[in-house]
Structure 1
Amino acid sequence: MLQEYLDHVRGRDLHLFAYGSLIWRPEFEFDEQQRARIQGFHRALRMHSRLYRGTPERPGLVLALLSGGCCVGMLYRIGAARAEAVLRQVWAREMVSGVYRPRWLSCQPQHGGQGVVPALAFTLSRRNPHWTGALSDAELLSVFRHARGRYGSTLDYLQRTVQSLRSHGIHDRELERQHALAVGHGLCEPLPVHLARPARSAC
């Protein structure tokens, strides 16, 4: 599958849409970064993590890009000279377990007068067994209290994501609600005042 995507970017810039940890931990060099919107998909803390943010006994949660709604995230542009190398690097990170479905999605940059560009995004099918389905607040709180994996806790992952989104002027209503739920139950501290959430929802 990777070869198909390598063939697509050969000799071209690579555009990559980030909606979670790729925003605050990209681990690759890029030429440009800006806010952008994708229609028809939304970000949700609805994917089991049994390695990085949890264990098989106590699965954690990470974000997935699910069909429906819209999502504002960050669009990276990687120049043609580095595109194939960066794609291999990101693929090794995101596709290690083969859970995500990589797709080219129409992405609208919010600055620079650009039109819609095709951007690579890592999506999740609701038919995938890693999809959690709807979770109650009690289930979320249990995960926030107990789930921890190789890279840390689910709660830390949520906090870092909300903090990073705020720093880019992005307000995700549901992630903000989940973070407030954790704060309200004494599981974490509120984010610093200078990272006050944007006044409006991003979508």
Structure 2
Amino acid sequence: MLALTACSGASKSQRPAAPELPYRTWEIGLLAPNYMEVWVESVDVLDQRGFAYERVHGGTSSIQNPPGNKGNPLGWPARPRVGATRPMTGIDLPQYIFVRWQSLVEPQTYNVRVDIPEWARKEMVTQHSAYCRFDGKYIQDYRKVVTIGLAPGGVAKAWLQGDCSEHMDIGRFEAVVEPKGPYGGTSGGEYYRPPSERAQHYLDTHDIPFDSW
């Protein structure tokens, strides 16, 4: 993983100017397959200007845990949700996104680097006419959300999303195990929490579908 130097502690004269984007801010979304609960310790961004920003997102991801094992965690959805989003205000378009997360169902801690290619950054500032299914109207839309799915086994999947535009795949990425464990080794091996009751019920009755992601 690239070393990151946070810009938040710099003086005003050292801080980068606000990026020139056709919208106020882009966003990062986090999600996980049904029942495969995660806790995201940190999300760091290196933008296309080379400025680094630490801990810009984290916490719980968007996940669905229907009762009675009615959810299906196998594979990624045909139309992924944008996930639990957070605006990247003042940050230019991403070159790399680093995620450190705890897979609570294994449990295991992972680090992954998500590479955002040049074509994806160009797409993020390209306006499209998009049809919104929820109200039957067309809007002028940008794919300005980078959604990252996090799955057991250290698998990450990234998409570009808009308000109504069809998603675009960025890629699949494989993480490495964090050798220090959760919280960089400061918690004595303790994870954020055990799986919830519904997630644990699924784990008690099914194997984790590692090969499906």
Structure 1 and Structure 2 fold alike (TM over 0.5): no
Please, what TM-score do these two structures have when normalized by structure 1? 0.24
Higher share of residues assigned helix: 1
Q: Which has the higher contact order (CA 8 A, sep 6+)?
A: 1
Higher share of residues assigned strand: 2
Please, what TM-score do these two structures have when normalized by structure 2? 0.23
Over alpha carbons, which structure has the higher Rg?
Answer: 2
